[in-house]
Structure 1
């Protein structure tokens, strides 16, 4: 009889403990339900620029001679003003003379059929700071490398000058003048060459003659 009571007490104690034990199945279900789902976010790549260059350095009071160059010629340009005194034409030409010094950013619209895209362009209008070229005569020897640079004195700070040979037929064989003013090459014949070059500093341009003397 005593053994029977001991057995009944043991069963009762076990039953009392069962409610206090966590249910592994219910806990796992609750954890799954409460854990937020992390869904991948699609990040679209930025649209490539339609312009080869979108920043232009110009000079206050001097006619702008720049042009918007499109990567894709299928787009038409909506004409409009982009800075005080300066407008973009339908053919991409920037026209007019800047009225005020400063940095101006505006949106130009490009359309292909019913689809239009907006591109930002920036005009940096500099004060009219005089400049002049340095040495324009360079010596050379047949068969020897020429490695020189046309220097610029003056002009707005931190603005690179651009150089354009306006008559390439005047260049001696195997010699070139780059858009950065670098004069280089290996002359193959002696002689004196006078090469017309247009130099622009922030849209302030002048024509010069570069002389190469090859012996």
Structure 2
């Protein structure tokens, strides 16, 4: 009799432990449900903020470097002929008009990603636009005088000293008629070519570093 009762008690204890395990498992699943919902919501939100595929971009260029406190004068170029833009405020004091002109004065350094509406007829689509606002770091041209000889290759670099680190300056000849025959000044500041005649030439060049621009005169002395 004692043996049968002991077996009954042990069997009942095992069943009770199984019930407790199932109960605790159910409570654990209930506790995890809000967390699963939260994680799912975050993933959906992040997917909406994911940058657009660059392959589908409707802009020729989607990254612009500008300088704090310097008036912006650049333009967005759509890949589709005849496309326009919705005028909007982008960030840090910069706006875009319907023609794609970026204007305004950046107020603080940083990298800002905004979405512009590129429109064709009544249909518009959002495109990511990155504005890198750099601190206003002074700069000056490194070399403005280049000697050369008739019939000999001319090679030199204008370059700059100072300016924000990692930013490539651009160089634009504003009066090509002032260049000596067969001599060029590239957008990277390279002076090259083979001078065809002697003389001294003073060539106006505009140098820009992230929208911070200045005009200089490059002197070419050919003997």
* Coarse TM-score class (shorter-chain normalised): 0.7 to 0.9
Match of 1:122 in 2: 130
Structure 1 residue 50 displacement after superposition? 2.1
Match of 1:203 in 2: 211
Report the RMSD for the aligned CA atoms in angstroms: 1.4
Answer yes or no: is 1:61 the counterpart of 2:69: yes
Answer yes or no: is 1:89 the counterpart of 2:97: yes
Higher helix share: 2
Residue of 173, 179, 186 corresponding to 1:171: 179
Equivalent-residue separation in structure 2 for 1:155 and 1:166 (angstroms): 22
| TM norm structure 1 | 0.76
Match of 1:188 in 2: 196
Match of 1:134 in 2: 142
In structure 2, stretches of 5+ residues that fail to align are 1-52
Give the length in aligned residue pairs: 171
In structure 1, stretches of 5+ residues that fail to align are 1-44
SS of 1:169's partner is: helix
| TM norm structure 2 | 0.74
SS of 1:209's partner is: strand
Match of 2:82 in 1: 74
Structure 1 residue 70 displacement after superposition? 2.2
Equivalent-residue separation in structure 1 for 2:90 and 2:105 (angstroms): 12
Deviations 1:33-57 (A, max 9, x none): xxxxxxxxxxxx9754222211111
Structure 1 residue 208 displacement after superposition? 0.2
Match of 2:7 in 1: none
Deviations 1:175-200 (A, max 9, x none): 11111111111111111110000001
Equivalent-residue separation in structure 2 for 1:158 and 1:177 (angstroms): 22
Deviations 1:131-158 (A, max 9, x none): 0001100011111111111121000000
CA contact (8 A) 2:201 2:220 kept: yes
Residue of 99, 102, 107 corresponding to 1:99: 107
Equivalent-residue separation in structure 2 for 1:147 and 1:49 (angstroms): 38
Residue of 195, 204, 220 corresponding to 1:212: 220
CA contact (8 A) 2:78 2:84 kept: no
